């Protein structure tokens, strides 16, 4: 054999895929050829290490944290697919009407009706609810106190008249009063149970325990609550009206002029403290309380608005992990932008939102309403030393004209040789195909008012060199003022 | 017939028999949280191990494990049962790893590509009575292998890894990479040629025999 042995043939030889005659030839050649001997030794050492690689065990990870994140992702997707409101078939309506009539008659004869006491089949509300360490009320028998956790804030929120430094670490308990400014606040108090207080609203948690929840509202309150367990009462008090809830999602608006209740799904009943006959508001219906208390269907726009106002409720796989393992993420936007995190629309930013630790993709809507990727952010597990994660989303560049001329001037002035000198060191380390994305503002005189790198995959040192190289060579002629983004492949 | 990859990939837990496996899948489909927990607990080490071995480093390993399980939970509805659950999960791991390799190709790390040296928790390196020199040598050899793998195109890299290191046959690899055995065979042929050529030129593997030793270099 005069030609060298192809390296992969040595691997074939170790694997027994070479015949005896060829094997003898290969060995004979290697005996006389130092290069092939070296190749044989290297291939053998590489092949020997395959076994060690194959036997490697998985390193230990933060398994619980990964599990929580998996659960969060899967559940969030599931929750995003909310089914449309279901229309009841007419026999159900007839049965409901008969039951209501019977109940009203019974109430007139025997006194107050306790709704929900006969709901034997109802699943337990917030079986994963967060309970405070000690009962908040001294009444006997003392029911376990509930605790709410802030999931999302926009704008100012006052708790008992004070702006909390860390609203996400603050436990919302019975007796607290929440007041919002132009924004709102979402509070979760169990699995699939949360409320969102709208702008310029006030909410008092008069009672907040496993037996009863009583919320007194002035302004707008959206509630989504899991099905109640036996002996649990959930009421929203709006003026002299009491809205009693089964598992449902609904909105109560109450101000000096009017009170209205709209129900997205489930069923709510509205009564008075004097126990006059109740009004039932079913899915996709609303009622404005006053002289003419007719229950009317919601329009598609009203239903959509109600869906958009769904309180943010995160999966509560484990209440302890939820409370101590989740962390706030601050999304700062220039101006008001619609925000999406991990594909879930969260409303209008700027906002702070509770997320599980890990990497999250944030998108912001542009002027046309299309969501654009704004970046990703790593959120660490909450500790005292770690500052809350923050992502700043810059303002959209205003639309400008005559960009083509400006782009041409930019491309014509780039000094490629100097840029290559900047990236040479990185290229030697294997970082090729890098890029910088610049934001440039040029005025009508051709002066560069702003030149910033908004995105790149270059290391810090190289980034500075590249920016200097571009800044030194950038020249524009008189023309239209423009602000635009330019991506330079390096 | 169920396709089953030869390798025991069930980690520390005993393998499920087909009836239990079907039951677990049904309960997961019914959105039973305890079933989800059991699924995760049973397969988490297998998934992490597969990803770790394919990629050769543990950077973002927890993110990748999360991705695999999210895909699995999403896809259980469509799982037809034509392969064992562990094999199906292995297939997801391969796809996730492939995606990761492609991303890394576009954005290579500025520093070392493997962190085998910085993986003290790897029991395979501590359970054996090895001398420190031998242990270091072994790690270097493994690094050389991953360095060579890194230079291959992602698809070639995966088939080469599955064949040469995991020891799977063409049919099994074809299922895992969603291709056919003939394509896999062609891809493997070129991958092996390329890989061993890189290995042959790797001076880090030349420790056993100094260059120029022996008589008559270059026949």
List, for residues A219-230, the tens digit of each pLDDT value.
899 998 887 777
**Judging by beta carbons within 10 Å of its beta carbon (0-12, 13-18, 19+), is residue A70 exposed, middle or buried?**
buried
**Residue B38 CB neighbours (<10 A):** 17
Burial class (CB in 10 A: 0-12, 13-18, 19+), A164: middle
Among residues A308, A338, A371, the one where a domain terminates is A308
- What is the rounded CA–CA span in Å between residue A57 and residue B140? 18
- Kindly tell me if the per-residue pLDDT of A218 is higher than 70: yes
At A473, which helix (H) or strand (E)? helix A460-473
Do A299 and A386 fall within a single domain?
A: no
Q: Are A12 and B195 in contact (CB under 8 A)?
A: no
Give yes or no for residue B56 having a pLDDT over 60: yes
pLDDT of residue A195: 93
Is the CB of B37 less than 8 angstroms away from the CB of A67? yes
pLDDT band at A447 (very low <50, low <70, confident <90, very high): confident
Selected residues 10-69 of chain B with any CB under 8 Å from a CB in chain A: 11, 33, 36-37, 40, 44-49, 52-53, 56, 58, 61-63, 65-66, 69
Find the residue in B nearest to A457 (Cα). Answer: B107
Indicate whether A104 pLDDT > 50.
Answer: no
- Prediction ipTM score: 0.77
Q: Region B111-115: what's the mean pLDDT?
A: 41
CB B116 within 8 A of CB B177: no
In angstroms, how far apart are the furthest CA atoms of chain B? 71
Instruction: Name the residue with higher pLDDT: B111 or A380.
Output: A380
Confirm whether A42 is domain-assigned: yes
The stretch A74-78 carries a mean pLDDT of 70
What pLDDT, on a 0 to 100 scale, did the predictor assign at position A189? Answer: 87
CB contact residues (below 8 A), chain A span 316-375, against chain B = 317, 358-359
What is the nearest CA distance from A28 to chain B, expressed in angstroms? 11
Considering only the beta carbons, identify the residue of B121, B164, B196 that sits closest to A59.
B121
In a domain, A273, yes or no: yes
Domain co-membership, A444 together with A386: no
Tell me, yes or no, whether A289 and A330 share the same domain.
Answer: no
Q: How confident is the model at residue A80 (pLDDT cuts 50, 70, 90)?
A: low
Residue A315 lies in a domain: no
**Residue A388 belongs to a domain with what CATH number?**
2.60.40
Nearest CA in chain A to B66: A70
pLDDT > 70: what percent of chain A? 82
Instruction: Establish if A225 belongs to a structural domain.
Output: yes
The per-residue pLDDT for B122 is 43
Residue A96 lies in a domain: yes
Are residues A418 and A295 both part of a single domain? no
Q: What is the predicted pLDDT for the residue at A79?
A: 58
The phi, psi pair for A94, rounded to 5°, reads -60, -45
Closest partner CB to A29 (pick from B119, B213, B219): B219
- A20: CB partners within 8 A, 6+ apart: none
- The pLDDT of B197-206, averaged and rounded, is 77
- Residue B169 is given by DSSP the state -
Q: Are residues A356 and A300 in the same domain?
A: no
**Among the ranges given (A394-403, B26-35, B60-69), the one the predictor scored with the smallest mean pLDDT:** A394-403
CA angle A234, A240, A245 (to 5 degrees): 20
In a domain, A254, yes or no: yes
Query: Considering the domain B1-109, what is its CATH architecture?
Result: Orthogonal Bundle (1.10)
A205 and A352 in one domain?
no
**Chain B CB within 8 Å of residue A431 CB:** yes
Question: Residue B173 — very low, low, confident or very high, per pLDDT cuts 50/70/90?
Answer: very high
Q: How far apart are CA A366 and CA B125, in angstroms?
A: 52
A270/A222 same-domain check? yes
DSSP reduced 3-state for A110: helix
Q: What is the DSSP letter of A131?
A: B
CATH number of the domain to which A175 belongs = 2.60.120.1440
Tally of domains within chain A: 4
- Residue A186: band (very low, low, confident or very high) from pLDDT cuts 50, 70, 90: very high
Chain A residues 93-132 with CB within 8 Å of chain B: none
Residue A125, pLDDT above cutoff 50: no
Q: Which of B38, B56, B62, B168 to mutate to test the interface with A (most CBs of A within 10 A)?
A: B62
Residue B6 is predicted with a pLDDT of 52
Q: Which domain range does residue A299 map to?
A: 90-308
Confirm whether A378 is domain-assigned.
Answer: yes
Q: Is A115 helix (H, G, I), strand (E, B) or coil?
A: coil
Question: Is A317 close to B165, i.e. CB distance below 8 A?
Answer: no
Put simply, the answer to whether B66 touches A37 (Cβ < 8 Å) is no
| Stretch among A468-472, B14-18, B92-96 having the lowest mean pLDDT | B14-18
Q: How many CA atoms lie within 13 A of A260 on its CB side?
A: 14
Domain shared by A251 and A112, yes or no:
yes
Chain B residue closest in CA terms to A41: B208
Q: Indicate the domain borders of chain B.
A: 1-109, 119-206
Q: Which of A34, A71, A77 sits opposite B212 (nearest CB)?
A: A34
Mean pLDDT value of segment A125-148: 55
* One domain, residues A167 and A32: no
Q: How far is CA A4 from CA A33, A249, A257, A269, in A?
A: 8, 77, 95, 89
- Give the whole-angstrom CA distance, residue A187 versus residue A203: 11
The stretch B68-93 carries a mean pLDDT of 87
Q: What is the pLDDT of residues A273-300, one digit of tens each?
A: 666 667 888 888 898 887 778 889 998 8
Domain boundary among A308, A334, A364: A308
Long-range contacts from A17-26, C-beta under 8 angstroms, 24+ separation: A25/A1, A26/A1
Which CATH number is A435's domain given?
3.30.2420
Residue in chain A nearest B167 by alpha carbon: A54
- Three-state DSSP class for residue A409: helix
Per-residue DSSP letters for B74-90?
Answer: HHGGG--SSB-HHHHHH
Does A73 reside within a domain?
no
Of B173, B39, B27, B40, the C-alpha closest to B98 is: B173
- Whether A103 and A215 map to the same domain: the answer is yes
Task: Kindly state whether residues A33 and A122 are assigned to the same domain.
Answer: no
pLDDT of residue A57: 81
Whether A429 and A461 have beta carbons less than 8 Å apart is answered as no
CB A122 within 8 A of CB A107: no
Shared domain for A286 and A414, answered yes or no, is: no
Q: Hey, what CATH class is B119-206 in? A: mainly alpha
Find the CB nearest B209 among A37, A317, A430. Answer: A37
What confidence score (pLDDT) does residue A116 get? Answer: 33
Report chain B residues whose CB lies below 8 A from the CB of A37.
Answer: 209, 213-214
């Amino acid at each position: 054999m005069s030609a060298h042995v192809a390296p992969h043939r040595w691997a074939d030889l170790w694997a027994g895929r070479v015949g005896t005659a060829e094997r003898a030839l290969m060995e004979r050649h290697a005996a006389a050829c130092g290069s092939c001997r070296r190749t044989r030794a290297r291939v053998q050492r590489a092949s020997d290490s395959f076994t060690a690689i194959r036997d490697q065990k998985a390193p230990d990870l933060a398994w619980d944290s990964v599990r929580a994140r998996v659960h969060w992702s899967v559940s969030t997707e599931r929750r995003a697919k909310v089914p449309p409101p279901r229309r009841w078939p007419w026999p159900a309506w007839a049965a409901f009407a008969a039951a209501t009539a019977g109940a009203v008659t019974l109430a007139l004869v025997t006194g107050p009706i306790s709704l929900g006491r006969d709901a034997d089949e109802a699943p337990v509300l917030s079986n994963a609810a967060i309970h405070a360490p000690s009962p908040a009320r001294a009444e006997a028998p003392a029911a376990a106190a509930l605790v709410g956790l802030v999931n999302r804030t926009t704008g100012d929120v006052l708790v008992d008249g004070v702006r909390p430094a860390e609203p996400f670490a603050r436990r919302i308990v019975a007796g607290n009063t929440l007041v919002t400014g132009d924004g709102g606040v979402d509070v979760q108090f169990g699995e699939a149970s949360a409320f969102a207080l709208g702008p310029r609203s006030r909410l008092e948690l008069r009672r907040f325990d496993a037996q009863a929840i009583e919320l007194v509202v002035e302004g707008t309150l959206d509630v989504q609550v899991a099905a109640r367990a036996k002996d649990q009462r959930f009421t929203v008090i709006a003026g002299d009206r009491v809205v009693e809830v089964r598992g449902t999602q609904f909105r109560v608006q109450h101000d000096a002029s009017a009170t209205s209740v709209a129900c997205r799904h489930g069923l709510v009943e509205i009564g008075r403290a004097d126990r006059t006959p109740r009004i039932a508001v079913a899915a996709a219906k609303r009622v404005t309380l006053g002289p003419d208390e007719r229950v009317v269907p919601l329009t598609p726009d009203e239903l959509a608005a109600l869906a958009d106002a769904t309180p943010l409720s995160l999966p509560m796989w484990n209440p302890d992990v939820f409370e101590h393992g989740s962390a706030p993420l601050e999304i700062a936007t220039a101006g008001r932008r619609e925000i999406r995190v991990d594909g879930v629309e969260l409303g209008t930013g700027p906002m702070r939102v509770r997320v599980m630790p890990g990497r999250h993709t944030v998108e912001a809507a542009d002027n046309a309403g299309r969501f654009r990727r704004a970046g990703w952010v790593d959120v660490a597990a909450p500790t005292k030393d770690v500052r809350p994660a923050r992502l700043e989303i810059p303002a959209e560049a205003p639309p400008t004209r005559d960009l083509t001329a400006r782009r041409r001037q930019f491309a014509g002035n780039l000094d490629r040789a100097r840029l290559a000198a900047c990236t040479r060191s990185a290229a030697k380390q294997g970082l090729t195909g890098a890029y910088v994305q610049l934001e440039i503002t040029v005025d009508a005189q051709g002066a560069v008012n702003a030149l910033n790198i908004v995105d790149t995959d270059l290391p810090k040192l190289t980034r500075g060199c590249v920016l200097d190289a571009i800044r030194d060579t950038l020249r524009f002629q008189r023309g239209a003022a423009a602000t635009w983004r330019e991506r330079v492949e390096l | 017939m169920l396709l089953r990859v030869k390798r025991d990939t069930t980690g520390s837990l005993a393998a499920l028999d087909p009836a239990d496996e079907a039951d677990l899948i049904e309960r997961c489909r019914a959105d039973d949280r305890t079933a989800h927990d059991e699924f995760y607990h049973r397969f988490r080490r297998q998934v992490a191990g597969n990803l770790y071995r394919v990629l050769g480093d543990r950077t973002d390993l927890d993110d990748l494990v999360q991705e695999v399980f999210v895909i699995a939970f999403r896809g259980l509805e469509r799982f037809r049962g034509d392969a064992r659950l562990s094999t199906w999960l292995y297939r997801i791991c391969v796809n996730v790893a492939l995606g990761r390799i492609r991303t890394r190709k576009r954005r290579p790390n500025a520093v070392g590509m493997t962190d085998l040296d910085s993986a003290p928790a790897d029991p395979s390196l501590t359970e054996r009575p090895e001398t420190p020199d031998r242990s270091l040598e072994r790690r270097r050899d493994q690094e050389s292998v991953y360095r060579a793998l890194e230079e291959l195109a992602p698809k070639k890299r995966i088939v080469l890894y599955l064949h040469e290191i995991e020891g799977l046959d063409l049919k099994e690899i074809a299922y895992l990479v969603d291709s056919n055995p003939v394509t896999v065979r062609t891809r493997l042929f070129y991958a092996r040629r390329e890989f061993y050529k890189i290995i042959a030129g790797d001076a880090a593997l030349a420790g056993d025999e100094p260059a120029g030793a022996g008589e008559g270099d270059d026949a």
